[in-house]
Each structure stands twice: as C-alpha cells, then as structure tokens.
Amino acid sequence: MTTLSYSYMPDYFSLTDILCTEERISCKVEVTLPRLGFLDLSSESEDLKIGTKLELPLWLAQPLNIARESIVSVDIPKTYKEGYREILLADACTVVLNKWNPYYYELGMYLRKFNNRDCEIIIDSLLLTFRSRFRLVMDWAQNPVSDPTLNSLLPRLERDLFLAGRKAKLQLNEWLKKGSNVIETSQSAVNLKKRKRTDYELD
C-alpha cells in the first residue's frame, strides 16, 4: 500500500505528516513579541506579552521552541501525560485511540523533539501501546467483521495497517474460494509507458 510507505518518513508531501503537524499545542510565551498581539484574541494590546497562553499548531510551535532562547514553552497534550499513559498501560485495547487523537503515534513521535523530561517515557508508552494493540488490528483485518464503525476506532497509523491487511486477506479468501484468476500487470510495468506502435506511426 503506497500511502503507508509515504508516511514512513515525515516527508514534505506526506499528507499524514501535514495533517499531524496541524495539531494544536498549548504554549506559553517566554519573550515579549512586538506587534503580534493579534494572535491572542482576548488581549487588546499590540504586543504579545510574556506569560500569555495560546494554542499554536505544531509546525509553528516547534521552531519557536527549538531555538536557543525558546520563544515559547510547550505544554504536552494531556493524552500523553501520566494519567492517560496509565490507562494505556492497563489495557490499551479498550481505548478508542482515534478519539484521543487520530494521529496519536505521529504526534507522540514529534513530542520527542521538545525538551521535556517525559519524552522518552512517551515513546516507550507508544511502543507498548502499539505492541498490545497489534493483535486487535490483526484480528480485525483477518476475520470478517461487518462493523462499519471499525474504521473510525483506529488512529491513522493502525488504520492503514488494518486496510492493507484486510485487502490481502480478501484476496486470499477470493483465491481459496474460486481458485485461479487473471494475473494483472504490475503497476511498475504499466508505469513504464512503453510507446505503442500505433502512436509512434501517427507522428
């Protein structure tokens, strides 16, 4: 499945990555920012004062936080904090992770970049969560489940896995049922764009 391989590395064109970095993070301003008062709708002043709390998208919060003198300090979203991590530790399979955040894993990996003492624990917790939920995803993918809401229960990363697994399973079932079918030309061979003789002679 091509969409999945695009999301492996956050590259410039990865839609998952773009949507994930849209996520709002609550930040606190550490330096007075002149003429940026309009960012905080509640204040009337022209400048953005120290200590103002506001929500910035991840793509903006990160460069502002990473600089030597951080311009904003970042508060990690509550779904990554200890209380929520405990829930995941207890039983990750019962959680509707998509409701917490559709890009739970991706965002968690980005949070690693903030200077926060919890970061390493967050990654460990992500890994553990993924491990224990994998059985769930695999079972759903390999057994016929006719629940249309299933898609909306899984966060993006798991959903891509689920759809790929489901597709393979359907193909296998199809084959087991009716035996052989026509082998299609592989996509890479189609993309070669071999010139047809008819086109060639027309020129």
Partner 1 sequence: MDPSKIEFLGEKQLVNIVPNFNLDIIYLISGSVGPFRAGLPVKVPIWLAVSLKQKQKCRIINQEWMNIESLNDRKEMEKMSKLFTEMPSNHYIDESQILLNVANDDIPDADRIRTSVKDIWDIRMSKLRTSVDAFVKSEGVHARLDHLTAMEINSIRPLLPHALDQMLRIQSANMGEINSQYSGKK
Contact 162, 141 (CB under 8 A): yes
Q: Distance between CA 63 and CA 73 in Å, rounded?
A: 11
Query: Which residues are bridge partners to 129 per DSSP?
Result: none
Q: Which of 73, 87, 116, 134 binds partner 1 (CB under 8 A)?
A: 134
Write out the binding residues for partner 1, residues 4-63 only, by CB under 8 A: 4, 8-12, 17, 59, 62-63
Q: How far is the CB of 118 from partner 1 (least distance, A)?
A: 12
Across the beta sheet with 53-57, what order do the strands follow? 53-57, 24-29, 72-75
How far, in Å, are 8, 156, 186 from residue 153 at the CA level? 21, 10, 33
Question: Does residue 171 interact with partner 1 by CB under 8 A?
Answer: yes
Residues forming the site for partner 1 (CB under 8 A): 1, 4, 8-12, 17, 59, 62-63, 66, 105, 108-110, 112-113, 120, 123-124, 126-127, 130-132, 134-135, 137-138, 141-142, 157, 160-161, 164-165, 168-169, 171-172, 174-176, 179-184
